[in-house]
């Protein structure tokens, strides 16, 4: 996993899972704490995430809210959108470019 960017926009590459969660949490929380306005998290290069990775995203969302900021997920891959729909988290998280059809239809 690799995270690059600044305190307003970050891109996560690779896997966000139990092995990478601590490092990701540290980077994301630092971005929330030292930035202003929306924190955009580009997930277009994210290969996969597990429940721990999803927990990191939700923790960052809560931390941003407490700090008067908003976490915005951008370019969420279709399979991850389906997971957000299945867990109903798409109703809580700000998802830019959300495509409802991609979230509910099976891959071709």
Beta strands 9-16 and 2-5: pairing type? Answer: antiparallel
* pLDDT for residue 100 is more than 70: no
Number of domains the chain contains:
1
Q: Is residue 19 part of a domain?
A: yes
Element (H, E) at 29: helix 21-34
Supply the pLDDT for residue 97. Answer: 77
Question: pLDDT band at 103, cuts 50/70/90?
Answer: very low
The verdict on pTM exceeding 0.75 is: yes
Q: Is residue 106 part of a domain?
A: no
Which tokens sit at 39? Answer: 């924190």
Q: Is residue 108 part of a domain?
A: no
Domain that residue 69 falls in? 2-96
Residue 23's nearest CA partner among 45, 54, 50, 2 is: 2
Task: Give the domain CATH number at 81.
Answer: 3.30.750.24
Helix, strand, or coil here: 64? helix
Model confidence over 35-92: pLDDT tens digits?
Answer: 999 999 999 999 999 999 999 999 999 999 999 999 999 999 988 999 999 999 999 9
Q: Is residue 101 part of a domain?
A: no
Q: Is residue 38 part of a domain?
A: yes
Which value, in Å, is the radius of gyration of the alpha carbons in the chain? 13
Q: Is residue 103 part of a domain?
A: no
Q: Is residue 56 part of a domain?
A: yes
* pLDDT for residue 106 is more than 50: no
Bigger pLDDT: 5 or 104? 5
Q: Is residue 104 part of a domain?
A: no
Distance from C-alpha of 11 to C-alpha of 13, rounded to nearest angstrom: 6
Q: Are residues 47 and 39 in contact, defined by beta-carbon separation less than 8 angstroms?
A: no
Q: Averaged over 84-108, what is the pLDDT?
A: 75
């Amino acid at each position: 996993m690799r995270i690059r960017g600044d305190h307003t926009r970050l891109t996560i590459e690779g896997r966000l899972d139990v092995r990478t969660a601590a490092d990701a949490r540290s980077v994301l929380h630092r971005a929330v704490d030292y930035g202003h306005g929306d924190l955009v998290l580009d997930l277009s290069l994210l290969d996969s995430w597990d429940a721990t990775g999803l927990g990191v995203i939700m923790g960052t969302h809560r931390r941003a809210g407490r700090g008067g900021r908003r976490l915005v997920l951008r370019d969420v891959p279709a399979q991850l959108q389906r997971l957000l729909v299945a867990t109903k988290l798409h109703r809580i998280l700000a998802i830019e470019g959300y495509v409802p059809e991609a979230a509910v239809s099976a891959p071709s």
